[in-house]
Structure 1
């Protein structure tokens, strides 16, 4: 029996993460000179078209011992990044969009992203930051508007609005980049309706 038949779960479906890891492993083998360009292209084609673990393992035939337990899991089957990882597919995009949603949906957009994201995930943390910032700034605008009737000049309201836009856009840019940035005004405010953890 070949190595492919010995491996349990040959019919288990594979996803993008497994294919990407397999591509990376084949790229390393090519860079090390263990396979030539034609063989690399054939194996990459097999990897990209793989639907099951058996299909993916076939791309590594005679290159690596797929069932070798002492080497640990095959590179394509290593554990996926933790749920809170910025590197999960879509994490940065969802986080950045959560920061931009207040421009079109006030707190509803960030609240929705928060609700559908996994607890502890990067997207959920950033959605909470966006929600908290939008709610705090809305309360501040309301207070300034009420005071503006008697005391606060319109210029101050305009400056507050520009500050809100700028800090919201900066939050979105930082989230799209995968950075863990906290709005400087929210650092001093202890009131946070949604947890940012």
Structure 2
């Protein structure tokens, strides 16, 4: 899970972490994006928030491009065409039983986009699971490779559409 550089959204929040959220709420109220009752409720929730996740929920719909991350979770941009293409390539590499292409995409493309990293990691986990099954069954699991290209193709189509895809029944060793 990408947490925007904050270690643990369940960690307790400090007063200094509340300040940017309180300022954002005041600005939103001044701009007319919040009504008075909602402003007061959100201010109360921000002042009494115990965790970073609680605090992030108070202002999650008020973020602006200049405000990258409220404590808790970064606001992720929608994947663009290039991100979707790299994610689809990572999944599509599952057609051939090779981990390397998806791993390279995860390591290089993942620095550019959280979406690419997440989808490439899913593809790597899929490939690792298939490899482990093949090893544990002394090669008999290799029969799975004959049908996994269908699942990899479906995942690639999801990625091209900008949607997250999670393979069922795999080990998620890489996050």
TM normalised by structure 1 equals: 0.45
**Aligned: 1:98 with 2:90:** yes
Q: In the alignment, which residue of structure 2 is the partner of 1:169?
A: 153
| Structure 1: gaps spanning 5 or more residues | 1-69, 71-77, 149-155
Taking only aligned residues, the RMSD between alpha carbons, in angstroms, comes to 3.1
CA distance in 2 between counterparts of 1:83 and 1:118 reads 16
Change (3 A) 1:84 1:90: farther
Native 8 Å contact 1:132 1:192 kept in 2: yes
Correspondence for 1:193: 173
Matches within 5 A, 1:1-197: 79=65, 84-103=76-95, 106-116=98-108, 117-118=110-111, 121-144=114-137, 146=138, 148=140, 158=143, 160-186=144-170, 191-195=171-175
Query: Looking at CA atoms only, which structure, 1 or 2, has the larger radius of gyration?
Result: 1
Bigger relative contact order, structure 1 or 2, given CA contacts below 8 A and separation 6+? Answer: 2
Find the counterpart in structure 1 of residue 45 from structure 2.
none
Q: Secondary structure at the match of 1:166?
A: helix
| 84 and 108 in structure 1: CA distance in 2 versus 1, 3 angstrom threshold | farther
**1:18 matched to which residue of 2?**
none
Instruction: Provide the rounded CA distance (Å) in 1 between the counterparts of 2:133 and 2:147.
Output: 12
**TM-score between both structures, scaled by the size of structure 2:** 0.50
Secondary structure at the counterpart of residue 84 of structure 2: helix
Distance 1:171 1:110 in 2: 13
Deviations 1:60-115 (CA, angstroms, capped at 9, x unpaired): xxxxxxxxxx9xxxxxxx84998743333411111001111244571111111111
How many residue pairs get aligned? The number is 106
Structure 1 residues 84, 127: CA separation in 2 closer, same or farther (over 3 Å shift)? farther
1-side partners of 2:107 and 2:153: how far apart?
22
